[in-house]
Chain A
Amino acid sequence: MPTFSIRDARQPGRQLSGRFERLYDEHRKLVFAYFCARLPSSEEAEDATIETFMEAWKSWARTTIACSERLWLLGIARRVAARRYAAPPPSASLEDSTVELADGHNTEDQAVLRNWVVGLLATLKPIESDALWLHDGLQLSCEEVAQLLEVPAGTVMSHLFRARRKLLRSSEEVGA
């Protein structure tokens, strides 16, 4: 015999699905963009995005989201990245890709763009690249990044300062 109540599951499911649709529409680009910078290929970024929303959907009904929705999703995304894609992304040549970004038209090429991001962040420490991508790339506040990375806001700022400095110096070396 089933050990669940169909009646109980029916109406909440309807309400939840509509809310989840909105959640998905609002944050799917953010989650995908997060993985674009964290994973070695676009295909893996797509798979990880799927996995993140799968996990979100599974826990959607029984989770009380204490933080903002996007932080909650990015928290799941970080766990997905850590669990499934522990290997660091391959390093790419900053010299090779910086030129592409300078040409505005080439930013239409998503593969080039993604490679540029991965190559850029691969020159940083993982915590620095996380802070930089979340703050400067995905436009999270320092407080949100701190909450997500589970470090003080001041620490996030320090990582941001160092990440920007490294990238600035790298770009100057490339340009020199």
Chain B
Amino acid sequence: MTCDPSLIDRYLAGTLTPAEEEALEAHMAECEACRARFDELTRPVTEAVRGAASALAFPQRLRRRLPIPGGTARRPRFWIAAALAAALLVGAFAVGSRYAQQWLFVIPEAPTQDPDKAVQSLQNEGFEQGEVGWTGFGGLNATVDTGVAHSGRASAKLLHRSGGGRIDRVIPIPVPAGSDLTLSAWVLCPRGGSTHNKWLALSVAAGDDIEGVVATLDIYDASPHWRPIQLHLHCPIATNEIRVEATTSPGRGNYEDTDWASWVDDFGLSLVLRGQAVAPARIDGDAIRVGFEVPSPYDPRHIEPTSVRYVDNLGATLPIGPTEFSIEGRTIWCTFRDAGEARRLALPNPDRPDKPSVFSIMARVEYASVSVPVDAGFIGTFQPSPP
């Protein structure tokens, strides 16, 4: 077949015979010139489809449910962990005004309040120092196992006997109201079965006496491999301590002599703070200037400017941090540059035409040895293996 533009026009009009269509398709597959003409004529379609695909925002709430394993003990990973954890919050805010924005700060150092306590709480998350810092050990049901570990040489071994094994720990950390916590850990559950059988449960709770502010994850499925887990807790009210707990349950029946066990290692805990803007965002060309008040007792001076990220209410994250960063008292001022986002912010806000809603999200790792791994929803959707 020779090149004939009129054939392409007739192809698009649907006036070719089936045999002619097939011949032209085969020709266009080989002929760049004819394919270019076809592409040009159908450009509105390809551009619309391409635009739709690129505009589909990834739902940030999926961060809560998807496997995002980390699994390294190197410190820089903590900030990735915190960044991911902080990103989780975006979904919660995204349900508000369509003009709401979120910023994500990662605070790399301990808060000004009682730094000794903070340092103390970072210790022995992987049971390398035995039972130090943990309660519940003793007897046979909960022991430090120096022969099995996700990292290092030790982990906590919890038997699935009647009464179960249980360890817990109270971590002193100021948690402002509205904050979110993410507990991560590595678990090894080589034996198990169904909801009627044996399982491992992890929980993180706000304080000891705040009823209902607790997140729990039951792990029913068995696997011969260490797996990262993660669960999240929203704290609607302030607290000064967090309780972390791991328990094993025997399920139905008595299991006095069973040697079935689960292991837990390398706990991690990240805290995500939230603060509101102190003034309306100022838009100047592609520059978006915003200021946030950092919740007490956390110190704005500990925020690393390069770690600041901008996440909008559609879930999009600007690839670069702020171009300007300054601190005034407890307020952080940032300037981000993005023409598209600035244009969107400049649109009238039907809810608050005078002041677009602005939130800040700040995260700091308080207690961690591994980065954010697979989260609760991921583990929770495993199909139980046969008992």
Binding site for B on A (CB under 8 A): 2-4, 6, 9-10, 13-14, 16-18, 20-21, 24, 28-29, 32-33, 36-37, 42, 46, 49-51, 53-54, 56-57, 61, 101, 105, 107-108, 110, 113-114, 116-117, 120, 132-133, 136-139, 153-154, 157-158, 161-162, 164-165, 167-169, 171
B35: chain A residues within 8 A (beta carbon): 157
Tell me if A133 and B67 are in contact (CB < 8 A): no
A56: chain B residues within 8 A (beta carbon): 67
Is B117 an interface residue when CB atoms closer than 8 A count as contact?
Answer: no
Q: Provide 22 A-B residue pairs closer than 8 Å at the C-beta atoms, listed in order of the A residue.
A: A4-B225, A6-B226, A14-B151, A18-B71, A18-B72, A20-B67, A20-B69, A28-B58, A32-B56, A37-B53, A46-B65, A49-B62, A50-B377, A50-B378, A57-B378, A61-B225, A117-B53, A120-B48, A136-B53, A168-B41, A168-B44, A171-B44
A20: chain B residues within 8 A (beta carbon): 67, 69
Is B120 an interface residue when CB atoms closer than 8 A count as contact?
Answer: no
A53: chain B residues within 8 A (beta carbon): 66-67, 378
B188: chain A residues within 8 A (beta carbon): 6
Tell me if B26 and A154 are in contact (CB < 8 A): yes
Tell me if B69 and A168 are in contact (CB < 8 A): no
Binding site for A on B (CB under 8 A): 11-12, 14, 22, 25-26, 28-29, 35, 38, 41-42, 44-46, 48-53, 55-59, 61-62, 65-72, 77, 80, 98, 147-151, 188, 190, 224-226, 228, 314, 344, 347, 371, 373-374, 377-378, 381-382
Set A4, A49, A132: member contacting B190, Cβ < 8 A: A4
| Chain B: minimal CB distance from A28 (Å) | 6
Tell me if B42 and A164 are in contact (CB < 8 A): yes
- A108 with B62: in contact, given A6-B188, A14-B151, A157-B28 (CB under 8 Å)? no
CA distance A53 to B188 in the complex (A): 20
Set A16, A101, A158, A169: member contacting B52, Cβ < 8 A: A101
Tell me if A13 and B53 are in contact (CB < 8 A): no
Main secondary structure of the interface of A (DSSP, over half): helix
Set A3, A54, A108, A137: member contacting B53, Cβ < 8 A: A137
Which residue of chain A lies nearest to B224 when distances are taken between CB atoms in the complex?
A: A4
CA distance A86 to B8 in the complex (A): 35
A54: chain B residues within 8 A (beta carbon): 67, 378, 381-382
Known: A20-B69, A169-B12. 6 other contacts (CB 8 A): A6-B148, A32-B58, A50-B381, A57-B374, A107-B52, A164-B46
CA distance A129 to B155 in the complex (A): 51
Tell me if A2 and B190 are in contact (CB < 8 A): yes
- A24 with B150: in contact, given A57-B374, A101-B52 (CB under 8 Å)? no
CA distance A37 to B257 in the complex (A): 54
Tell me if A108 and B29 are in contact (CB < 8 A): no
B59: chain A residues within 8 A (beta carbon): 32, 42, 46
Which residue of chain A lies nearest to B11 when distances are taken between CB atoms in the complex?
A: A165
Most B CB within 10 A of own CB, among A3, A20, A117, A161:
A161
| Chain B: minimal CB distance from A123 (Å) | 12
A158: chain B residues within 8 A (beta carbon): 22, 25-26, 29
A13: chain B residues within 8 A (beta carbon): 71, 150, 225-226
Tell me if A9 and B226 are in contact (CB < 8 A): yes
Tell me if A110 and B29 are in contact (CB < 8 A): no
Which residue of chain B lies nearest to A152 when distances are taken between CB atoms in the complex?
A: B29
Tell me if A168 and B45 are in contact (CB < 8 A): yes
B344: chain A residues within 8 A (beta carbon): 108
CA distance A158 to B281 in the complex (A): 50
Tell me if A113 and B55 are in contact (CB < 8 A): yes
| Chain A: minimal CB distance from B64 (Å) | 10
CA distance A136 to B188 in the complex (A): 44
CA distance A170 to B58 in the complex (A): 29
Set B38, B52, B56, B71: member contacting A14, Cβ < 8 A: B71
CA distance A61 to B327 in the complex (A): 46
| Chain B: minimal CB distance from A149 (Å) | 15
Tell me if B50 and A36 are in contact (CB < 8 A): no
Tell me if B71 and A3 are in contact (CB < 8 A): no
Name the 6 nearest CB pairs between A and B, nearest first.
A17-B71, A17-B69, A137-B53, A4-B224, A164-B42, A157-B29
A169: chain B residues within 8 A (beta carbon): 12, 14
Tell me if B58 and A29 are in contact (CB < 8 A): yes
A164: chain B residues within 8 A (beta carbon): 38, 42, 45-46
Which residue of chain A lies nearest to B371 when distances are taken between CB atoms in the complex?
A: A21
B314: chain A residues within 8 A (beta carbon): 108, 110
B62: chain A residues within 8 A (beta carbon): 28, 32, 46, 49-50
| Chain B: minimal CB distance from A33 (Å) | 5
Tell me if B49 and A137 are in contact (CB < 8 A): yes
CA distance A20 to B77 in the complex (A): 14
| Chain B: minimal CB distance from A6 (Å) | 5
B69: chain A residues within 8 A (beta carbon): 16-18, 20-21, 57
